[in-house]
């Protein structure tokens, strides 16, 4: 069964508008999830907010948001005050700017969504916006209310559709110079570069989604399947033991040994 549409609205560029639908490009529905149970009764355990001082449960009507301004001192905000700053959910993706596709670093990308035309009549307008971005090597930048907050979004042409990425807020991305600035600018030895390049070429293969498979998920499913059938759970996988790396005296020697070992691995 096809998943229910996550968002419906309009894609707008100047006076050109078309109806669109949007779905998250990723899903965690297949993840193994657990409930916490009472081992004695088999009943589910429920959680409640407790007063950290009195230890008594707090009624929902007594819950309030607080911003810390000191130790055990908070500025209290009522629901009405929080709702006053919330933005009305807009249903129009109005493309305000276009930027070269390679100027927005991947670190700004947050959540991907698939954007597609939602009406055959508007498909031509959608397609021309998509193809124009592809031909100019640009992506669109707009703003949209998603997940209860206004966010900057990026529209990237992809195949027959558009991938809409929510972008991280400016205060979420750390300045890389604080971490990379102290790395030296020494010139790399050309002969070493050739050997590492050869090693990379030896290990270069086409991308396969199986490379990002979750081995823990597979083992959990094996355990659950065995328990359903009343069988003994599978034996715990023994981690492969690796010898601790020794002191590398020569990078050149280490690279030559790596390439030789790579050749043997491919031969097998």
pLDDT higher than 60, residue 6: yes
Q: What angle do CA 159, 163, 167 make, to 5 degrees?
A: 150
CA-closest candidate to residue 154, choices 168, 169, 139, 144: 139
- 168 with 95, same domain? yes
Report the Cα 113 to chain-centroid distance in Å.
11
Average pLDDT over residues 21-40: 87
So what's the pLDDT on residue 93? 93
Q: What is the arithmetic mean of pLDDT over 38-43? A: 90
Whether residue 233 lies inside any domain: the answer is no
SS3 265: helix
- Cβ–Cβ < 8 Å for 115, 155: yes
Please give the tally of structural domains in the chain. 2
Residue 180 lies in a domain: no
pLDDT at residue 30 tops 80: no
Residue 55 lies in a domain: no
Residue 17 and residue 126 share a domain: yes
Is residue 205 pLDDT above 80, yes or no? yes
Residue 140 clears pLDDT 90, i.e. is over it: yes
Boundaries of domain holding 145: 7-26+87-172
Q: Kind of pairing, strands 97-100 and 65-70?
A: unpaired
Whether residues 98 and 161 fall in one domain: yes
Tell me the per-residue pLDDT of 206-254, one tens digit each, with 9 for 90 and over. 988 887 777 777 788 788 888 778 776 666 656 665 555 555 557 778 7
- 138 in any annotated domain: yes
Query: If you average pLDDT over residues 16-26, what whole number do you get?
Result: 93
Per-residue pLDDT for 33 more than 90?
no
Question: Does 119 share its domain with 20?
Answer: yes
For residues 112 and 167, membership in a common domain is answered with: yes
Residues 17 and 95 in one domain: yes
Do 118 and 197 reside in the same domain of the chain? no
- The whole-number pLDDT of residue 101 equals 95
Q: Are residues 197 and 164 in the same domain?
A: no
DSSP state of 155: E
List pLDDT tens digits, range 73-94: 899 888 777 767 666 657 899 9
Residues 144 and 11 in one domain: yes
Same domain for 20 and 142?
yes
Q: What is the pLDDT of residues 116-128, one digit of tens each?
A: 999 998 999 999 9
At residue 165, does pLDDT exceed 80?
yes
Do 198 and 104 share a domain, yes or no?
Answer: no
- Is 129 within the bounds of a domain? yes
Asked if residues 134 and 157 have their Cβ atoms less than 8 Å apart, the reply is yes
Residue 61 included in any domain: no
Q: Provide the phi-psi class of 212: left if phi over 0, else alpha when psi is between -120 and 50, else beta.
A: alpha
Is 13 in the same domain as 105? yes
Asked whether the predicted pLDDT for residue 20 surpasses 70, the reply is yes
């Amino acid at each position: 069964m096809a998943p229910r549409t996550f968002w419906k609205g309009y894609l707008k560029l100047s006076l050109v508008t078309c109806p669109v639908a949007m779905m998250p490009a990723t899903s965690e529905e297949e993840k193994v999830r657990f409930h916490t149970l009472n081992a004695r009764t088999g009943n589910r355990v429920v959680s409640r907010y407790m007063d950290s001082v009195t230890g008594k449960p707090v009624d929902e009507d007594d819950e309030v948001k607080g911003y810390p301004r000191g130790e055990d001192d908070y500025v209290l905000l009522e629901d009405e005050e929080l709702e006053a700053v919330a933005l009305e959910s807009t249903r129009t993706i109005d493309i305000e700017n276009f930027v070269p596709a390679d100027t927005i670093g991947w670190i700004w990308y947050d959540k991907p969504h698939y954007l597609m035309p939602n009406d055959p009549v508007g498909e031509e307008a959608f397609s021309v916006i998509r193809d124009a971005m592809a031909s100019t090597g640009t992506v669109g930048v707009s703003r949209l209310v998603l997940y209860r907050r206004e966010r900057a979004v990026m529209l990237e042409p992809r195949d027959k559709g558009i991938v809409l990425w929510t972008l991280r807020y400016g205060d979420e991305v750390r300045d890389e110079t604080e971490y990379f600035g102290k790395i030296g600018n020494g010139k790399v030895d050309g002969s070493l570069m050739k050997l590492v390049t050869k090693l990379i070429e030896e290990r270069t293969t086409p991308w396969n989604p199986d490379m990002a498979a979750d081995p823990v998920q597979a083992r959990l499913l094996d355990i659950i399947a065995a328990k359903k059938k009343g069988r003994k759970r599978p034996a715990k996988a023994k981690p492969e033991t690796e010898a601790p790396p020794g002191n590398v005296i020569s990078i050149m020697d280490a690279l030559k040994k790596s390439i030789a070992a790579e050749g043997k691995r491919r031969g097998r």
